[in-house]
């Protein structure tokens, strides 16, 4: 596809773990494998955001995307904690907007994710999920964290969405356990929670989502996650 579109590719990005992504001049060529279902609607989400809070989609053919390249491209992990959190909230508020089809409701997927590798958190996560009337009208990023928010000439922009219909609180846990290496940042937990709550989110729901998502994404953090409740 690169040759068909007249693109000269650079070295692939090291943090592109599930997809192929490489610089292509002022753009980025990204190829999403069919089996990575979480990213199946990335192109649709970028079209929906239309450059507001996320990089622009310049061209697409199936799961091959040509994206705006963020320059200088440094991520939030390069910034001081307070500034990084404030920018994260600012970007997230631009991304969380009403949407419908073709996006999928996360409530249909969570049970199967929790069943993939049961662990000590799984029963608690199932109970918490059952206690929530999971939102289904807001488009969320799905993998929102420091390394997926980059500096650009248009301000900070999100990349690499795994979009679903859910509620804003669903997006916060991945920010709570970043930057790399992934672990719950207990030392910054309360200040980060306070920043998202000040933006209008529900703290109890964030805490519940952190345990639910942690059950299938961060099960090794069981003790710290259960202390969230």
Q: Is the pLDDT of residue 93 over 90?
A: yes
Q: What is the mean pLDDT of residues 25-33?
A: 90
Element (H, E) at 21: strand 20-24
Nearest to 188 by CA among 77, 82, 91, 90: 82
Q: Is the pLDDT of residue 6 over 80?
A: no
CA atoms within a 13 Å half-sphere pointing along the CA-CB vector of 60: 16
- Per the CB < 8 A criterion, the answer to whether 163 and 119 are in contact is no
145's CB contacts (< 8 A; 6+ apart) are 174, 175, 177, 178, 179
The domain spans of the chain are: 76-226
Please provide the DSSP assignment of 133-157 as one string: ----SEEE-SS-SGGGEE--BTB-E
Q: What is the mean pLDDT of residues 33-53?
A: 93
pLDDT in tens, 95-113: 999 999 999 999 999 999 9
**76-226: what fold?**
Aminoglycoside 3'-phosphotransferase; Chain: A, domain 2 (3.90.1200)
Q: What is the mean pLDDT of residues 146-156?
A: 98
d(C-alpha 124, C-alpha 227), whole Å = 12
Q: Is the pLDDT of residue 176 over 90?
A: yes
Q: What's CA 64's distance to the chain center, in Å? A: 19
pLDDT in tens, 47-88: 999 999 999 999 999 999 999 999 999 999 999 999 999 999
Nearest to 178 by CA among 160, 163, 166: 160
Number of residues assigned to the chain = 229
Helix (H, G, I), strand (E, B) or coil at 69: coil
pLDDT at 160: 96
pLDDT in tens, 179-226: 999 999 999 999 999 999 999 999 999 999 999 999 999 999 999 999
Residue 7 pLDDT grade (very low, low, confident, very high; cuts 50, 70, 90): confident
Say if pTM beats, i.e. exceeds, 0.75: yes
C-alpha to C-alpha distances, 60 to 10, 30, 41, 163, nearest whole angstrom:
19, 9, 12, 17
């Amino acid at each position: 596809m690169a040759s068909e579109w007249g693109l000269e590719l650079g070295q692939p990005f090291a943090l592109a773990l599930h997809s192929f992504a490489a610089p292509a001049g002022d753009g980025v060529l990204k190829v999403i494998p069919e089996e990575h279902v979480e990213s199946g609607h990335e192109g649709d989400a970028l079209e929906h955001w239309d450059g507001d809070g996320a990089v622009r989609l310049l061209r697409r053919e199936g799961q091959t995307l040509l994206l705006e390249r963020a320059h200088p491209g440094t991520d939030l992990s390069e910034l001081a904690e307070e500034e990084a959190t404030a920018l994260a909230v600012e970007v997230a508020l631009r991304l969380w907007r009403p949407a419908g089809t073709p996006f999928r409701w996360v409530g249909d997927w969570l049970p199967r994710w929790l069943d993939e590798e049961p662990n000590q958190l799984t029963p608690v996560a199932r109970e918490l999920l059952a206690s929530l009337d999971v939102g289904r009208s807001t488009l969320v990023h799905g993998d929102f964290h420091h390394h997926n928010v980059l500096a650009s000439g248009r301000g900070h922009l999100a990349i690499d969405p795994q979009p679903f219909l859910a509620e804003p609180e669903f997006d916060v846990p991945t920010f709570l356990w970043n930057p790399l290496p992934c672990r719950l940042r207990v030392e910054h937990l309360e200040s980060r929670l306070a920043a998202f709550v000040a933006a209008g989110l529900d703290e109890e729901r964030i805490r519940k989502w952190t345990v639910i998502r942690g059950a299938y994404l961060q099960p090794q953090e069981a003790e710290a996650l259960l202390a969230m409740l």
